[in-house]
Amino acid sequence: MISAQDALQKLREGNARFTSDPSQQGERPAFKSIENQEPAAIILACSDSRVPPEVVFDQGIGDLFIVRVAGNIVTPAQTGSIEFAAEKFGSRLVVVLGHTMCGAIRATLDDLANPAPSRTENLHSIVDAISPCLSPLIARSPQLSEDKMLREAMRENVHHSVRQLQLQSSILRKQVSEKGLEIIGAEYCVSTGSVNFLEPTAS
């Protein structure tokens, strides 16, 4: 299995191909039968239809283990899926991939400003998972424009999900300390197609 840094380089190169050759966008990789999985990276991404990780990173069948949920939030189901891939397949890189113009982030910001009791319990569970990391941002940066607030809130949520994976999973912590696993954040720009890998923040 390749290292976390080699996997990260693979993603960087794939995204560079994706953004530099528009003629290739929309093409689907040919089917290939793979009996044993060895995904280079695990991606926790948002469910947004504009952010398909295989396309964004120009990867094919069997290259990535992908977990998708609105707002790229961390729940026991997502954590368990990531733990499974790290242990079973030996993947050494986990990327939490947020994106610009995220509907889940916007809904959370709107809810914090004007709570919406009409939302279903299940939708509230997504907003409730994101809210704790956005309230401090709103308090310390009330002057931000709507667009800048949305972008900063998305980044804050990505960092929060990275921390949640590190704090809530003893399996992943062991993989980090003993196996070379790395858990990092990234943001995808739906306007340009580019992925920016984020520097870690203090816990």
Q: How far is CA 186 from CA 86, 89, 131, 156, in A?
A: 19, 22, 19, 11
Q: How far is CA 61 from CA 58, 64, 90, 140, in A?
A: 10, 8, 17, 43
Is residue 28 scored above 60 in pLDDT? no
CB contact set of 142 (below 8 Å; sequence gap of 6+) = none
Is residue 153 scored above 80 in pLDDT? yes
What confidence tens digit (pLDDT) does each residue in 32-50 have? 667 888 999 999 999 999 9
Q: Which two three-digit tokens encode residue 22?
A: 């528009």
Contact 34, 57 (CB under 8 A): no
Share of the chain above pLDDT 70, in %: 92
As a whole number of angstroms, the distance between CA 145 and CA 171 comes to: 40
Is residue 24 scored above 80 in pLDDT? no
- For the sheet with 64-68, list strands across it: 64-68, 41-45, 93-99, 182-188, 195-198
Per-residue pLDDT, averaged over 157-165, amounts to: 97
CB contact set of 111 (below 8 Å; sequence gap of 6+) = 119, 127, 131
Give the per-residue pLDDT at 155: 97
DSSP H or E segment with residue 79:
helix 76-89
Is residue 22 scored above 80 in pLDDT? no
Is residue 183 scored above 70 in pLDDT? yes
Which amino acid is residue 149, in one-letter code? M
Which amino acid is residue 75, in one-letter code? T
Share of the chain above pLDDT 90, in %: 78
Question: Which residue would you say has higher pLDDT here, 120 or 184?
Answer: 184
3-class secondary-structure state, position 118? coil
Per-residue pLDDT, averaged over 167-185, amounts to: 96
Is this model's pTM higher than 0.75 or not? yes
As a whole number of angstroms, the distance between CA 8 and CA 40 comes to: 9
Q: Which two three-digit tokens encode residue 46?
A: 């948002």
3-class secondary-structure state, position 21? coil
Q: Is CATH 3.40.1050.10 the right assignment for the domain spanning 4-16+39-198?
A: yes
Per-residue pLDDT, averaged over 16-38, amounts to: 72
Q: Which two three-digit tokens encode residue 42?
A: 């695990």
Is residue 78 scored above 70 in pLDDT? yes
Would you kindly state where each structural domain of the chain is located, as residue ranges?
4-16+39-198
Contact 67, 43 (CB under 8 A): yes
